[in-house]
Chain A
Amino acid sequence: MIRSTHLPLMVTLATFVLAYALCASQYPAMLSTRVVANLLTDNAFLGIVAVGMTFVILSGGIDLSVGSVIAFTGVFLAVILRDTSIHPLAAFALVLALTTGFGAAMGATIHYLEMPPFIVTLAGMFLARGAAYVLSTESVPITHAFYDTLQDIFWKAPGGGRFRLIGGLMLLTFIAGALVAHRTRFGQNVYALGGGAQTARLMGVPLASTTVGIYAISGGLAGLAGITFSLYTSAGYSLATVGVELDAIAAVVIGGTLLSGGYGFVAGTFFGILIMGLIQTYIVFDGTLSSWWTKIVIGALLFAFILLQKGLTWATTTRRKRATGSAQPS
């Protein structure tokens, strides 16, 4: 059943399909499996972190620390795998616990000290990147055999596209994220928080555990994205993924989630990620844009998407309002 509430999702999906068709009509090579596989592989870490960001934004918050947490995770893994003989899986568990705890701590600060998320996570952003610097300023390669094993897992599609493990991991994260958001009590509480914290409190939503949980998820997924990124680059680098939080926010917003909280879908974020990836692929295929025009075009496309979404939503909601104008008790 398609409901009016699913509208933004439909809009995003339609936008993506339309944009892809346009790109493909100009560069037929964009239809190759390589491009499809690249969209998944290259955006895997961004997708994973955007799932966490979706939760945060649905609750009306924001998490600026994720880019730094990804960098920290990479450096941490690289350093620990270089300096100790610990198995990567154990290191993964350790770093996930660390980043989840970091997120939870930020959530607790936000809730108990009543500080705005923007600022708390901004401090978190400085802190995580600072910690990465302290661990190592140089980029540290990861040479563990287990990494090679993981990296060699891929399915080579006809046409040369390689569907890699991390792309699959992203898809799994999205599925899990969607389940948690739409089919659990915690997910309902997240939406409730986004609808209005005070009202949610009066309705009996446990604000503390929900807030802490949301930021813990975001932190944990940033950790997972960090692991993904380290698999992607086989290295840890403290200057990596600067500004990724803004990319993630943009993807979430393009995916139809309202920054003010309460409205949106995890699946929408998936298409938001794909749209952003598509923009970049298109620019590479074009190959004539100078550095500055690249920035301007990205900004302009971002604006175009927002405008398109705004227009479609506006057009359909005014119609809907008229249609259901008189829902009266009988």
Chain B
Amino acid sequence: MSASTPSLLKRITPQLMILAVVLGLNLLVFPDFLDVSFRNGRIFGNLVDVFNRGAPVALLCIGMTLVIATRGIDLSVGAVMAIAGATAASLVTEGHGWGTALIGALATGALCGLWNGLLVAVLRIQPIVATLVLMVAGRGIAQLITEGTILTFNNEGLIRLGAGTVLGIPTPIVLWLGLGTLATLAVRRTALGMLIEAIGVNEASSRLAGINSRVLLICVYLASGLCAALAGVIVAADIKGADANNAGLWLELDAILAVVIGGNSLLGGRFSIVASLLGALIIQSVNSVILLSGMPPEFNLVIKALLILAILVIQSPKIGHLIYMLRASGPESLPERQRPSTTPREDAP
């Protein structure tokens, strides 16, 4: 249950290696990539940007990892970001303090998560369809709050959440690292992680074993909504305005991608939040390569697609197996007969 350090390290080795390679690519297109300086009261540099700009996806993928572990998916997170940002902005423009705004935004996020959770856990609507509803309607709700405009604000407290620093470190970095740690501890230091995995693998069995799968499912979507809300507040604070039209647009796909690059199965079951967070960093590093390379923007998507494809192919269980086989047949190979000849998936009855 609680993964010990060596096994965690083993689990995230592929992600660490890929991250290193992509950061290496950055270094290739921009030699000063790793320079970090202290300017204007904050640490400053491309590497810092990767961590800072990766914050929204990182926050989203904390919740998304949990949702996916239950064999679900949450397409609504982008829209929830917009709603939460709009809520926070409209609260501060109405004269409330930043604390109220933050709580208000988180509460709307929780409400959205609750809605998704109820559709999935109680009405038993398939997650992808259930969350599609909010994905379509949610941005409309956000625009309803801002009335289609970019709702700008000057509340220093709120702005500090997105553009401020804590001890010289940009707040978003602190927030996602903190929440990531908190979530990891919450699922691994308690039995929560195992119970979530169990309902992801076989919900019927889990229910018969006494797991309250309904409540757990709702909680998981709730968590996803909360993470999305926090991401939404950060994005709004970053530009001092709630852009209901564009905040979080298509970010759900990036978050899902991050979870998968983190080596988590879309079919639910075993999961690792740390690996997902590394996945988010990998995606942001890919974006960074694109920005730093100075290529014309029409190549952005092709480059991103090819890099991601390469990453996924390398991670594919089949390729991993092939590498294992090649290594096994090397000089210090195992005796012929001990070679596994099937990947686990094939062996499912």
Question: From B322, which residue of chain A is reached at the shortest CB distance?
Answer: A113
Within 8 A of B (CB), among A76-116: 109, 112-116
Confirm or deny: B3 has a beta carbon within 8 angstroms of a beta carbon on chain A: no
Q: Which of B135, B142, B143, B319 has the most CB of A within 10 A?
A: B143
Contact of B140 among A119, A124, A130, A292 (CB under 8 A): A292
Instruction: Tell me whether B327 is interfacial, beta carbon within 8 Å.
Output: no
A303 touches B133 (CB 8 A): yes
Task: State in angstroms the CA–CA spacing of A260 and B124 once bound together.
Answer: 13
Contact partners of A250 in chain B: CB under 8 A: 129, 132
Partner of B253, one of A122, A292, A294: A122
**Best-buried of A115, A133, A294, A300 by chain B (most CB within 10 Å):** A115
A295 to B301, CA, bound (A): 27
State which of B213-221, B230-238, B260-268 sits at the interface with chain A. Answer: B260-268
Contact B137 A130 (CB under 8 A): no
Q: Which residue of A lies closest to B349 (CB)?
A: A198
Asked if A162 CB lies within 8 Å of chain B CBs, one says no
- B136 close to chain A: CB less than 8 A: yes
Give per-residue flags for B234-260: 1 if the beta carbon is below 8 A from chain A beta carbons, else 0: 000000000000000000010011001
- Contact, CB under 8 Å: A292 / B348: no
CB neighbours of B265 from chain A (8 A): 116
B206 at interface, CB cutoff 8 A: no
Q: Are B300 and A292 in contact (CB under 8 A)?
A: no
Partner of B133, one of A112, A120, A126, A299: A299
Question: Are A130 and B299 in contact, CB atoms less than 8 angstroms apart?
Answer: yes
Residue of B nearest to A135 (CB): B298
**Is there an interface contact between A299 and B138, defined as CB atoms closer than 8 Å?**
yes
Chain A neighbourhood of B139, CB < 8 A: 292, 295
**B140 neighbours in A (Cβ, 8 Å):** 291-299
Instruction: Tell me the chain B residues, 107-158 only, with Cβ under 8 Å from chain A.
Output: 123-126, 128-130, 132-144, 147-148
Q: Smallest CB-CB separation from A294: which chain B residue?
A: B140
Is B305 engaged at the interface, CB distance under 8 Å to the other chain? yes
CA distance A307 to B101 in the complex (A): 34
CA distance A104 to B113 in the complex (A): 37
A66 and B137 CA atoms in complex are apart in Å by 22
Q: Closest A-chain residue to B311, C-beta based?
A: A123
Query: How far is B300's CA from A127's CA once the two chains are assembled, in angstroms?
Result: 10
The CA-CA distance from A253 to B127 in the complex, in Å, is: 12
Kindly state whether residue A319 has any CB partner on chain B within 8 Å.
Answer: no
Give the number of chain A interface residues (Cβ < 8 Å). Answer: 45
B264 nearest CB across to chain A (Å): 10
CB distance from B266 to the nearest CB of A (A): 4
Task: List the B residue with the shortest CB-CB distance to A259.
Answer: B126
Is the CB–CB distance between B148 and A114 below 8 Å? Answer: no
Interface of A is mostly: helix
Query: In the complex, A213→B1 CA distance in Å?
Result: 41
> Is B343 an interface residue when CB atoms closer than 8 A count as contact?
yes
- CA–CA, A80 to B281, complex, Å? 39
In-complex Cβ contact of B137 among A113, A118, A119, A298 (8 A) = A298
User: If the complex has contacts A114-B343, A130-B299, are A299 and B136 also in contact, measured as CB distance less than 8 A?
Assistant: yes
Structural contact, A299 and B267, CB atoms closer than 8 A: no
With contacts A119-B257, A250-B132, A296-B137 known, is A126 near B125, CB below 8 A?
A: no
- B12 in the interface, Cβ–Cβ < 8 Å? no
Could you tell me the distance between the alpha carbons of A102 and B256 in the complex, rounded to whole angstroms?
23
In the complex, are the beta carbons of B134 and A299 less than 8 A apart? yes
B127: nearest chain-A partner, CB-CB: A259
> Could you tell me if A126 and B313 are in contact, using CB atoms closer than 8 angstroms?
no
Residues of B within 8 A of A137 (CB): 298
Q: Does B188 contact A (CB under 8 A)?
A: no
Q: CA of A131 to CA of B306 in the docked complex: distance in angstroms? A: 11
A134 & B298 in contact (Cβ 8 Å cutoff): yes
A164 at the interface (CB under 8 A from B): no
Q: For B348, list chain A residues within 8 Å (CB).
A: 198
Cβ of A14 within 8 Å of any chain B Cβ, yes or no, is no
* Distance between Cα atoms of A298 and B133 in the complex (Å): 9
Asked if B309 is an interface residue, CB under 8 A from chain A, the answer is yes
Neighbouring A residues of B306 by C-beta, 8 Å? 127
Least CB distance from B223 to A in Å reads 21
CB pair A306–B266 under 8 Å, yes or no, is no
Partner of A292, one of B143, B303, B309: B143
Are B301 and A130 neighbours in the complex by a CB distance under 8 Å? yes
A278-305 interface bits toward B, Cβ cutoff 8 Å, 1 = contact, 0 = none: 0000000000001111111111101100
Asked if A310 and B125 make an inter-chain contact with CB atoms under 8 angstroms apart, the answer reads yes
Which of A127, A291, A297 contacts B143 (CB under 8 A)?
A: A291
The answer to whether A126 and B298 touch (CB under 8 A), given A294-B140, A299-B134, is no
- Which residues on A sit within 8 Å (CB–CB) of B270? none
Q: Which residues of chain A come closer than 8 Å to B319, judged between CB atoms?
A: 113
Q: A119-B266, A298-B137, A299-B136 are in contact. Are A126 and B123 (CB under 8 A)?
A: no
A258 within 8 A of B: yes
Instruction: State whether the Cβ of A246 lies closer than 8 Å to any Cβ in chain B.
Output: yes
How many Å from the CB of A264 to the closest CB on chain B? 13
Q: How far, in whole Å, are A241 and B345 apart by their CA atoms in the complex?
A: 36
- Residues 147-179 of A, flagged 1 when their CB comes within 8 A of B and 0 if not, give 000000000000000000000000000000000
B299's partner among A124, A134, A249, A300 (CB-CB below 8 A) is A134
Nearest first, the 8 A-B pairs at minimum CB distance are A299-B137, A295-B140, A130-B301, A130-B302, A126-B305, A292-B143, A296-B140, A127-B305
A-B contact pairs, 26 of them (CB 8 A): A62-B128, A109-B313, A116-B266, A116-B267, A118-B256, A122-B253, A122-B257, A123-B305, A126-B308, A130-B301, A133-B299, A134-B299, A198-B348, A246-B132, A246-B136, A259-B129, A260-B126, A292-B147, A294-B140, A295-B137, A298-B140, A299-B133, A299-B137, A300-B133, A300-B137, A303-B137
Q: A116-B267, A299-B138, A306-B130 are in contact. List 20 more A-B contacts (CB 8 A).
A: A113-B316, A116-B266, A119-B260, A122-B256, A123-B309, A123-B312, A126-B302, A127-B305, A130-B302, A131-B302, A133-B299, A133-B301, A134-B298, A250-B132, A253-B129, A259-B126, A293-B140, A295-B139, A298-B140, A306-B133
